[in-house]
Amino acid sequence: MQAISAKIIERAKELMREGTVTKVAGWKAGEFFYDAEPNIFETAESLDGLVYNRFCAANLSKYMIKNSAFESAGKVLVILKPCDTYSFNQLLTEHRIDREKVYIIGAGCEGMCDIDRVRALGFKGITGIDEKGDGKTLVVHTLYGDGEVNIDDVLVNKCEFCKGKAHKIFDELISDNEDEGPRGDRFEGVRALEAMSPEERFAFWQGELSKCIRCNACRNACPACSCRKCVFDNAASGVASKANTDSFEEKMFHIIRAFHVAGRCTDCGECTRVCPQGIPLHLFNRKYIKDIDEFYGTYTAGEEAGQRGPLITFTQEDREPNSVSDKGGN
Amino acid sequence: MSLKKIALTELDRFFSAIALKKKIYLPVEKAGQYDYAPWEPGITYHPEVLHTVKSAKSVFFPQSEDLVRYKRSGLSLAITEVPPEDEEFVVFGVHACDVKGFEVLDRVFLSDPVDTFYKARREHGTVVSVMCPQPEETCFCETFGIDAENPGADVQARICEGTLYMEALTGKGEALLEELGGIVAETNEGKDSEAYAKAAEEHKKIMEKLPLAGLTTDGFGAEADLLTLFNRPEWKELSSSCLGCGTCTYVCPTCQCYDIREYNTGKDIRRFRVWDSCMYSDFTMMAHGSPRPDQLQRFRQRFMHKLKYYPDNYEGAFSCVGCGRCLQKCPVSMNIVKVMKTLGGADHE
Amino acid sequence: MHKIGVFVCWCGSNIAATVDIDRVVAEAKVQPGVVFAKDYQYMCSEAGQNIIKDAIKEYGLTGIVVCSCSPRMHEATFRKAASQAGLNPFMVEIANIREHCSWIHKDKEEGTEKACVLMRAAVAKVTLNTPLKAGESKVVKRALVIGGGIAGIQTALDIADAGFPVDIVEKNATIGGRMAQLDKTFPTLDCSSCILTPKMVEAKSNENIRLITYAEVEEVSGFVGSFKAKIRKKARYVKEDVCTGCGVCMSKCPSKKGLNEFNMGLNNRPAIYIPFAQAIPNVAVIDSTQCIKLNTGKCGLCEKVCTAKAIDYTQQDEFIEEEYGAIVMATGFRPIDASKFDEYSYSTCKDVVTSLELERIMNAAGPTGGVLLRPSDGKHPHSIVFIQCVGSRDVSGRGKPYCSKICCMYTAKHAMLIRDKYPDVEVHVFYIDVRTPGKNFDEFYRRAAEQYDVDYIKGQVGKVWEEDGHLVVRGVDLIANEQIILNTDMVVLATAIEPDPTARKVANMLTASIDTNDFITEAHPKLRPVESPTAGIFLSGVCQGPKDIPETVSQAGAAASKVIGLLCKDKLTTNPCVAHSDELLCNGCSCCEKVCPYGAISYDTHLINDHGVKETRRVALVNEALCQGCGACTVVCPSGAMDLKGFSNKQIMAEVEAICL
Amino acid sequence: MSVNDTVDTAVNAAAKEWKPKIVAFCCNWCSYAGADLAGSSRLSYPADVKIIRVPCSCRVNPMFILKAFERGADGVILCGCHPGDCHYSTGNYYTRRRMTLLFSMLDYIGVERERTRVEWVSAAEGARFSKVMNDFVAKIHELGENVKVGDLRCKQ
Amino acid sequence: MSDNTSGCSGNCVPGMKKDMLVPQLAVVTDIRTDTPDVKTFRVKSLDGQPLFDHMPGQCAMLTLPGSGEAMFSITSSPTHKDYKEFSIKRCGMLTEALHAMEPGQEIGIRGPYGKPFPVDTEFRGKKLLFIAGGIGLAPLHSVIDYVRANRDAYGHMDILYGSRSAADLVDLDQIQTEWMKEKDTDVYLTIDRPQEGWDGHVGFVPSYLKELAFKPDCTAIICGPPIMIKFVLQALIEMGFDKKQVYTTLELKMKCGIGKCGRCNIGSKFVCKDGPVFRCDEIDELPGEY
Measure the CA–CA gap between C14 and C67, rounded to whole angstroms.
13
Measure the CA–CA gap between C413 and C420, rounded to whole angstroms.
10
Measure the CA–CA gap between B141 and B96, rounded to whole angstroms.
8
Q: What pLDDT is recorded for position E10?
A: 33
Q: Which pLDDT band holds residue E65 (cuts at 50, 70, 90)?
A: very high
Mean pLDDT score, D28-40: 90
Domain C579-645 has CATH 3.30.70.20: yes
Residues of B in contact with D71 (CB under 8 A): 266
Q: What pLDDT is recorded for position E11?
A: 35
Chain A interface, mutation test: which of D60, D108, D154, most A Cβ atoms within 10 Å?
A: D108
Q: Which pLDDT band holds residue B199 (cuts at 50, 70, 90)?
A: confident
Interface contact D63-A231, CB threshold 8 A: yes
The reported pTM is 0.82
Dump pLDDT digits (tens) for B178-189.
Answer: 888 888 887 776
Q: Which pLDDT band holds residue A328 (cuts at 50, 70, 90)?
A: very low
Is the previous residue joined to A223 through a cis bond, with omega within 30 degrees of 0?
no
Nearest to A222 by CA among A190, A260, A166: A260
Name the pairing type of β-strands E59-64 and E68-73: antiparallel
Dump pLDDT digits (tens) for A30-86.
Answer: 888 898 999 999 999 999 999 999 999 999 999 999 999 988 889 999 999 999 999
Q: Is the pLDDT of residue B70 over 70?
A: yes
Task: Choose among A125, A245, A276: nearest Cβ to B64.
Answer: A245
Q: Which fold has domain E128-249?
A: Rossmann fold (3.40.50)
CB atoms within 10 A of CB A305: 16
- Residues 6 or more apart whose CB falls under 8 angstroms from that of C145 comprise C152, C155, C156, C159, C166, C167, C168, C169, C327, C328, C330, C540
Nearest to A324 by CA among D131, D90, C636, D97: D97
Measure the CA–CA gap between E255 and B258, rounded to whole angstroms.
8
Q: Is the pLDDT of residue E28 over 50?
A: yes
Measure the CA–CA gap between E104 and C414, rounded to whole angstroms.
90
Q: A58 and chain B: CB distance < 8 Å anywhere?
A: yes
The secondary structure of residue C520, as a DSSP letter, is B
CATH of domain E2-113: 2.40.30.10
Nearest to E41 by CA among E13, E62, E56: E62
- Residues 6 or more apart whose CB falls under 8 angstroms from that of A120 comprise none
Q: What pLDDT is recorded for position D4?
A: 43
Chain region(s) in chain C for CATH 3.30.70.20: 579-645
Q: A231 and chain D: CB distance < 8 Å anywhere?
A: yes
Measure the CA–CA gap between B268 and D52, rounded to whole angstroms.
24
- Residues 6 or more apart whose CB falls under 8 angstroms from that of D75 comprise D20, D21, D22, D23, D114, D115, D116, D117, D136, D137, D139, D140, D143, D146
Q: Which pLDDT band holds residue E12 (cuts at 50, 70, 90)?
A: very low
ipTM of the complex: 0.91
Interface of E with B in 84-113 (CB under 8 A): 91-92, 102, 104-108
Q: Do B298 and E289 meet the contact criterion of CB atoms below 8 Å apart?
A: no
Instruction: Considering only CA atoms, give the Rg of chain D.
Output: 16
Quick check: do D and C touch, 3+ CB pairs under 8 A? yes
φ, ψ dihedrals at C630, nearest 5°: -80, -35
Task: Choose among D62, D70, D99: nearest Cβ to A248.
Answer: D70
Q: Do C121 and C525 meet the contact criterion of CB atoms below 8 Å apart?
A: no
Q: Which regions of chain A does DSSP assign to beta strands (E)?
A: 23-28, 37-41, 50-51, 76-80, 102-107, 126-131, 137-142, 145-150, 172-174
- Residues 6 or more apart whose CB falls under 8 angstroms from that of A3 comprise none
Dump pLDDT digits (tens) for E221-272.
Answer: 999 988 899 899 999 999 999 999 999 998 888 899 999 999 999 999 999 9
Q: Is the pLDDT of residue E2 over 70?
A: no
Q: Is the pLDDT of residue E1 over 60?
A: no
Q: D3 and chain B: CB distance < 8 Å anywhere?
A: yes
The 3-class SS string of C552-568 reads: HHHHHHHHHHHHHHHHC
Q: A279 and chain B: CB distance < 8 Å anywhere?
A: yes
Q: Do D71 and C657 meet the contact criterion of CB atoms below 8 Å apart?
A: yes
Chain region(s) in chain C for CATH 3.50.50.60: 143-234+317-332+500-567, 334-498
Q: C649 and chain A: CB distance < 8 Å anywhere?
A: yes
CATH homologous superfamily of domain C334-498? FAD/NAD(P)-binding domain (3.50.50.60)
Dump pLDDT digits (tens) for A88-137.
Answer: 999 999 999 999 999 999 999 999 999 999 999 999 999 999 988 888 89
Buried b (16+ CB within 10 A) or exposed e, C362-380: bbebbbbeeebbbbbeeee
Q: Do C67 and C78 meet the contact criterion of CB atoms below 8 Å apart?
A: no
Nearest to D129 by CA among D137, D120, D138: D120
Residues of A in contact with B211 (CB under 8 A): 31-32, 127
pLDDT under 50: residue ranges of chain C? none
Which domains can be identified in chain A, with CATH numbers? 2-113+160-174 (3.40.50), 116-150 (no CATH), 188-312 (no CATH)
Quick check: do E and D touch, 3+ CB pairs under 8 A? no
Q: Do A174 and A4 meet the contact criterion of CB atoms below 8 Å apart?
A: yes
Chain region(s) in chain E for CATH 3.40.50.80: 128-249
Q: Mention the CATH class of domain C4-126.
A: alpha beta
Residues of A in contact with B250 (CB under 8 A): 213-215, 276
Which domains can be identified in chain D, with CATH numbers? 19-155 (3.40.50)
Measure the CA–CA gap between C225 and C211, rounded to whole angstroms.
21
Q: Do C82 and C62 meet the contact criterion of CB atoms below 8 Å apart?
A: no
What is the maximal distance between C-alpha atoms in chain A?
Answer: 63
Percent of chain B at pLDDT exceeding 90? 74
- Give the 3-state secondary structure of residue D67: helix
Q: Do B154 and B170 meet the contact criterion of CB atoms below 8 Å apart?
A: yes
Residues of C in contact with B267 (CB under 8 A): 661
CATH of domain C143-234+317-332+500-567: 3.50.50.60
What is the maximal distance between C-alpha atoms in chain B?
Answer: 73
Q: What pLDDT is recorded for position D3?
A: 41
Q: C2 and chain E: CB distance < 8 Å anywhere?
A: yes
Burial class (CB in 10 A: 0-12, 13-18, 19+), E125: exposed
Residues of B in contact with D3 (CB under 8 A): 66, 82
Residues of D in contact with C630 (CB under 8 A): 55-56, 58-59, 87-88, 91
Task: Choose among B73, B267, B287: nearest Cβ to C30.
Answer: B73
Question: CA triplet C635, C639, C642: central angle to 5 degrees?
Answer: 55
Q: Which pLDDT band holds residue A291 (cuts at 50, 70, 90)?
A: very high
Q: Which pLDDT band holds residue B1 (cuts at 50, 70, 90)?
A: low
Report CA-CA distances (Å) from C211 to C176, C235, C553, C558, D8: 12, 15, 19, 21, 82
Rounded to 10 degrees, the C-alpha dihedral B336/B339/B343/B348 comes to: 80
- Residues 6 or more apart whose CB falls under 8 angstroms from that of C553 comprise C150, C151, C154
Task: Choose among A30, A245, A279: nearest Cβ to B333.
Answer: A30
Interface of D with B in 132-151 (CB under 8 A): 151
Q: Is the pLDDT of residue B338 over 50?
A: yes
Question: What mean pLDDT, rounded, does chain E reach?
Answer: 88
Q: Is the pLDDT of residue B348 over 60?
A: no
The secondary structure of residue B27, as a DSSP letter, is E
Which residues share a beta bridge with E269?
A: E266
Dump pLDDT digits (tens) for C245-300.
Answer: 999 999 999 999 899 999 999 999 999 999 999 999 999 999 999 999 999 999 99
Residues of A in contact with B33 (CB under 8 A): 211, 277-278
Rounded to 10 degrees, the C-alpha dihedral C17/C22/C25/C31 comes to: -110
Instruction: Considering only CA atoms, give the Rg of chain A.
Output: 21
Q: What pLDDT is recorded for position D153?
A: 82
Per domain, the residue ranges of chain B are 4-62+76-209, 226-348
φ, ψ dihedrals at B267, nearest 5°: -105, -40
Q: What pLDDT is recorded for position D123?
A: 85
Instruction: Considering only CA atoms, give the Rg of chain C.
Output: 32
Q: Is the pLDDT of residue E129 over 60?
A: yes
